Structure 1
Amino acid sequence: MLLSVTRFIEKDLKLIVNKDKSEVGSPTRLKFLSCLITTVNGVCRYRPTNAAKKKFINKLRQLTKRNRSGDFQQISNEINSVTRGWINYFGVGFIKKFIRRTEQWLNRRIRQLILKRWKRTRTKINRLIKLGLDKDSAKRIGFSRKKYWRLSKTPEVHRALTTKRLHQWGLTPLSHLVESAYLRY
């Protein structure tokens, strides 16, 4: 099949076919531009491939490394540009569930980054008190021997560094980006 299609394209249309990248098959089984076409309830929709999802997560992981430089505004701007671009490209496909999980993971990762930047115990306690925690809860987090990833899931840290506060500091909510992408199409 591929041979006859290649012959037609090269001889009649006078185009060059890259045999390494070219495939012939059902559109529901082949990936094209990092998308897979699926049929749901008789309607064809597309979704990103697993490789595209992994690449997106790895890019976010790279942007939220605990030892990276830059202030929170700069980090959130970079995260916003990456997420906005990815969601605008894949936003019409089935990504709501993936984005919901990714948003929760990203918020926890940012909380971890913030806690890591408050290196000293006294700094952690003072900042958490400024963010609305009582003194005992702030001390529990400040004097804790748990690592940053585990601390980022504690209820005290969630009360101090709420998702709403992260959005006020400049992080764009991924769920809103997905909804706006759905509305455009």
Structure 2
Amino acid sequence: MADKPLKAFKRRVRQLTRRSGGRSMAEVAERLRVYVLGWKAYFRLAQTPRLFKELEEWMRHRVRAIQLKHWKRGKTTYKALLAKGAKPEVARQIAVNSRRWWRNSGMLLNSVLTLRWMDALRIPRLA
């Protein structure tokens, strides 16, 4: 796949998943869902499963970062993670660094905000 459509995909996903947008997770997920389904349908014949997997992982990383930003404070993050079934130690480690959205969304948070959580938001998978 050429660089131009990949850059356009990433640019558009960045626009849809800005952390300062003031939108709910449901709104972000719905807008992202519409775009990703269209993009996936257009490139469905491309035989690049590794590339689709990498794009999907990057997109999920961005969505988790938005969720952390929505929780704002460490105490809120801790309570929300416990409610989602996280172990207290994992929730504490994430909540302590609650202002480091990108870093946290790529590490321990993967064990709490899983693919099942993404599926519940109805964000489609590329791979």
TM-score by length of 2: 0.91
Match of 1:134 in 2: 87
- Are residue 84 (structure 1) and residue 37 (structure 2) matched? yes
- Counterpart CA distance in 2 for 1:88 and 1:145 is 36
Larger relative helix fraction: 2
- Counterpart residue identity of residue 136, structure 1: E
What root-mean-square deviation, in Å, do the aligned CA atoms of Structure 1 and Structure 2 show?
1.5
Larger Rg: 1
Q: How many residues align?
A: 127
Kindly state the Cα deviation for residue 148 of structure 1 after the two structures are TM-superposed: 0.9
Deviation string, structure 1 residues 50-108 (Cα, Å, up to 9, x no partner):
11111011101111111112211111111111111111112112332221100001111
- Are residue 172 (structure 1) and residue 114 (structure 2) matched? no
Deviation string, structure 1 residues 145-173 (Cα, Å, up to 9, x no partner):
76211111222x11210112111122122
Note the residue ranges of structure 1 that are not aligned, 5 or more in a row.
1-47, 176-185
Larger relative strand fraction: 1
Q: Aligned with 2:32: secondary structure?
A: helix
TM-score by length of 1: 0.64
- Counterpart CA distance in 2 for 1:158 and 1:111 is 8
Q: Which of 54, 62, 69 is the aligned partner of 1:109?
A: 62
- Counterpart CA distance in 2 for 1:97 and 1:104 is 11
